């Protein structure tokens, strides 16, 4: 399946289930001084999540251009070190604005990955928020994955760094649940396809999709501290890296080898070749 077909399949799947297909917003935020560049699909809906803006739809799906090269989500320092970071990427996402919540978000994710993209269940790992002093453990998300068919030992708790999502220091946020995928050639090896690699080192087990259960607005108080205020209507914000999903579907080892990026690398190499071969007389 090509990268373009994967994007189309994602948009079509959610359109069939009542989501409005909304165009990517430009990379420069129109009206948000808290962000330099768009860093997630939910940015263009920030005020909708906060209840400050109403749209004539309660479900949306997008393929959003994103740039993570600074601020809260900064991939710049990872470029060249990992197989899956390149600062500019496309994020596929489905959104519910006070419509469906955790149950349906997890059902859609399972159905799309298992039945439409036909990913192997024994290569998938699921994570949920383990809880802290401010936000309780999301055992509901854990139980829902197990109800869908995940083996209990493949559903893992993680802390705030991995399983609580916020777009910046302030704004809509909430506990999240991620799906990671084991890409290696030994799915039956309990050392290789193991929890150790989930949110761990290397690129063989990679996060492919993040489901955020948007429940709070994070604000800064005059004394500089931050406060979480529950939102009147819990919502859903998800983000799947198109290039990562394409790496999985095309069974290649890096995002750079997918048909989304490989032609750009080859084109650049062609341009660079005459320069590389030029003799400078030394």
Contact positions vs ligand GLY (CB under 6 A): 40, 42, 165, 210, 212, 237, 239
Shortest distance in whole angstroms from residue 281 CB to ligand GLY: 51
Shortest distance in whole angstroms from residue 188 CB to ligand GLY: 30
As a dihedral over the C-alpha atoms of residue 181, residue 186, residue 190, residue 193, rounded to 10 degrees, the angle is -10
Shortest distance in whole angstroms from residue 239 CB to ligand GLY: 3
Shortest distance in whole angstroms from residue 210 CB to ligand GLY: 4
Among residues 49 and 193, whose Cβ is nearest to ligand GLY? 49
Shortest distance in whole angstroms from residue 192 CB to ligand GLY: 26
CA pair distance 119, 264, nearest whole angstrom:
27
Burial 213-227 (b: 16+ CB within 10 A, else e): bbbbbbeeeeeeeee
Among residues 234 and 239, whose Cβ is nearest to ligand GLY? 239
Among residues 175 and 239, whose Cβ is nearest to ligand GLY? 239
Among residues 180 and 210, whose Cβ is nearest to ligand GLY? 210
- For residue 37 the two structure tokens come to 């560049």
Residue nearest to ligand GLY (CB): 239
Shortest distance in whole angstroms from residue 40 CB to ligand GLY: 4
Please identify which residue in the block is written with the tokens 């690398």.
Answer: 265
Is 274 buried (19+), middle (13-18) or exposed (0-12) by CB count in 10 A?
Answer: exposed
Among residues 63 and 193, whose Cβ is nearest to ligand GLY? 63
Among residues 3 and 239, whose Cβ is nearest to ligand GLY? 239
């Amino acid at each position: 399946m090509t990268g373009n077909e994967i994007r189309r399949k994602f948009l079509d799947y959610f359109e069939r289930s009542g989501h409005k297909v909304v165009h990517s917003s430009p990379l420069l935020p129109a009206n948000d001084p808290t962000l330099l560049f768009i860093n997630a699909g939910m940015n263009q809906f920030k005020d909708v999540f906060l209840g400050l803006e109403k749209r004539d739809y309660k479900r949306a799906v997008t393929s959003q251009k994103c740039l993570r090269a600074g601020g809260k989500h900064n991939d710049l320092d990872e470029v060249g070190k990992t197989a899956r970071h390149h600062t500019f990427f496309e994020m596929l996402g489905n959104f519910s604005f006070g419509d469906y919540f955790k149950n349906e978000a997890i059902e859609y994710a399972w159905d799309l990955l298992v039945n439409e993209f036909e990913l192997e269940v024994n290569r998938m790992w699921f994570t949920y928020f383990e809880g802290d002093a401010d936000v309780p453990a999301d055992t509901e998300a854990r139980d829902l994955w197990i109800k869908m068919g995940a083996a209990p030992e493949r559903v893992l708790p993680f802390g705030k760094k991995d399983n609580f999502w916020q777009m910046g220091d302030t704004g809509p946020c909430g506990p999240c649940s991620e799906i990671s995928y084991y890409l290696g050639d030994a799915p039956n090896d309990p050392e290789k396809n193991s929890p150790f690699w989930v949110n761990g080192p290397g690129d063989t087990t990679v996060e492919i999709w993040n489901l955020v259960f948007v429940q709070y607005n994070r604000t800064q108080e005059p004394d500089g501290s931050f406060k979480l205020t529950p939102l009147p209507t819990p919502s859903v914000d998800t983000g799947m890296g198109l290039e990562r999903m394409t790496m999985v579907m095309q069974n290649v080892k890096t995002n750079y080898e997918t048909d989304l990026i490989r032609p750009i690398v080859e084109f650049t190499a062609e341009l660079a070749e005459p320069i590389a071969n030029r003799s400078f007389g030394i």
